[in-house]
Chain A
Amino acid sequence: MNTLVLVEHADGAVKDASLATVTAAAQLGTVHALVAGDGPEAKQAADAAATIAGVEKVLLASDPAYARMLAENVAALIVPLMVNYDVLLCDASSNGKNVAPRVAALLDVMQLSDVIAIEGATDDKRTFVRPIYAGNAIATVESSDAKLVLTVRATTFEKAAGQGGSATVETVSGPGDSGLSSFVGAEESKSERPELTSAGIIVSGGRALKDAATFEQYIVPLADKLGAAVGASRAAVDAGYISNDYQVGQTGKIVAPALYIAIGISGAIQHLAGMKDSKVIVAINKDPDAPIFQVADIGLVGDLFAIVPELTAKL
């Protein structure tokens, strides 16, 4: 099969998630990469994409209409290109999730979202594995569509090597600005800490933290010490300790860091659904029967207000 990967890039560099998507694409067939953007940064990203191991060709679409990856414009760029491809793969990122279904509908294809494994990659058997019910069930799904549109969960595929490839870069163009939408502005999170969904370590606090001031006082220093992102349970968010963009759980962010430290979190289903794919889970809670201990690799029963400062000091 011929595959096309929509590459995500920033400041002229390819994002790590797209390297994982290239690995998924390589399991299906030959890999071409599409870099959509504007100006020298897009060119730089295309050159970077050309060095990814396994990428045979890079398509570069450079136009102000693609600078902000507006779905209306980018989907209109991709759809005609799909004449030459059997599969479109996007990262299961906010951008991929925005663009891919728009392309799928225009191709009259039912998209496969959040693919975590590829089981069959032959022309007559195309089988994929994806989580449903926030990861509480895993579905194996076969597509009967002529073309495939996939979003790929980056945490479950190895990253392709960023070096070693020597693909050619070919310029393509699309219809440009659809006139339907325009970019107004962006407000990037100013936090020095890593982003919740891509962090290697997450320190997460629950209702037992008492209030916003103690949340800040106990959770933040530990997170800073570990270079970790800060998370929170829904109970902590609902109680107003922290704003809800920090919420980990079924209705918040789904995370899978290498280390997840749950502090004063009882472990409601809602929360577990969002973090149980973490590699190592540590739970600190004063209730020995808290459900969080059923998924924790290491549990410590006790008073978090004594334990957390000690842990912060000793790590």
Chain B
Amino acid sequence: MKILVPVKRVIDYNVRPRVKADGSGVDLANVKMSMNPFDEIAVEEALRLREKGVASEVIAVSIGPAKAAETLRTALAMGADRAILVETEDAVEPLAVAKLLKAICDEEQPGLVVLGKQAIDDDSNQTGQMLAALMDRPQGTFASKVEVSGDSVEVTREVDGGLETVKLTLPAIVTTDLRLNEPRYASLPNIMKAKSKPLASKTPADYGVDITPRLKVLKVAEPPVRKAGIKVGSVDELVAKLKALGAVA
């Protein structure tokens, strides 16, 4: 079976996002961009399933600007077989992303779609669930373990207070959590090889999907600044301060 892995190009997780002075958004000019960390985990999981012989082909997909091709090359360098870029310079909300992914799934017929539980830019945590809904297929969100057997997959999920395992009938959608795996680094020879792997370029119009946003961002602001407090000189002072603040009994 095929596995489809949607990946998103986002601000690198080690970079501190800066809000633009005019409040229109976060400044992405000249900022290091990388693959969304949860999507890296998704690529890794798909590759492991291929290495185990469960999957025959791993297809990476990205919906975003022309530069998202770099993110797809990263996925190809990690080991994905081919890539599809749905190019648009407009912001695309999770609902529209899910509609585009559904259109791609209709063409590619993957047995599994594995994607990050959320992107670390808009933190929506919606796309996988929405795709599952639109396809009328089951979802295994926040996965820390994925085991495919026959025509079903068992997904262990990270839920509040522990773990939960569900069994889903394939095709299914899985969203990844941090504990699922440790993504591999792409080796230099694989980075070179990735340059010649196929990368198809498409547009939202090719799939007939309207990506007009439903939400209007009125303002993006810095969070309230936390003032540095005081330094104390001893444990006794620390305990006294904590008691004065009512932070401990």
Contact = CB atoms under 8 A, between A and B. Distances in A.
Q: Chain B's interface: helix, strand, loop or mixed, by majority?
A: mixed
B248 A131 contact: no
A184 B139 contact: no
Contacts of B15: 269
A195 B121 CA distance: 26
Given A101-B125, A250-B120, A180 B229 contact: no
B228 A71 contact: no
B139 A182 contact: no
Max chain A Cβ within 10 angstroms of own Cβ: one of B129, B141, B167, B179: B129
Given A102-B139, A113-B125, A138-B223, A133 B120 contact: yes
Nearest to A247: B178
Interface size on A, as a range, is 35 or more
A299 interface: yes
B205 interface: no
Given A137-B17, A259-B247, A307-B235, A186 B164 contact: yes
B218 A186 contact: no
A173 interface: no
Interface string B119-157: 011111111111111101111111000000000001001
B219 A140 contact: yes
B168 interface: yes
A71 B221 contact: no
A71 B164 CA distance: 13
Contacts, number: 255
Nearest to B164: A186
B207 interface: no
B169 interface: yes
A132 B124 CA distance: 8
A203 to B, nearest CB: 11
Contacts of B248: 201, 226, 259, 315
A104 interface: yes
Contacts of B140: 181
Given A140-B217, A315-B248, A187 B235 contact: no
Q: Which one of A113, A136, A144, A201 has the greatest number of beta carbons of chain B within 10 Å?
A: A136
Given A71-B129, A113-B125, A245-B158, A145 B222 contact: no
Given A108-B95, A186-B165, A102 B123 contact: no
A183 B220 contact: no
Contacts of A75: 133
A139 interface: yes
Interface in B1-37: 11, 13-17, 19, 26, 37
* For the complex of A and B, 8 pairs with smallest distance between CB atoms: A297-B229, A101-B129, A110-B214, A105-B130, A105-B133, A101-B126, A180-B138, A188-B162
25 contacts: A71-B132, A75-B133, A94-B157, A99-B129, A102-B132, A102-B133, A105-B98, A106-B133, A111-B124, A131-B123, A135-B223, A140-B221, A144-B215, A180-B137, A182-B167, A183-B165, A184-B165, A186-B164, A187-B162, A189-B162, A243-B179, A295-B226, A297-B230, A298-B238, A311-B239
Interface of A: 68, 70-72, 75, 93-95, 97-106, 108-114, 127, 131-145, 178-189, 195, 197-198, 201, 226, 243-245, 247, 250-252, 258-259, 268-270, 276, 279-282, 288, 293-301, 307, 310-311, 314-315
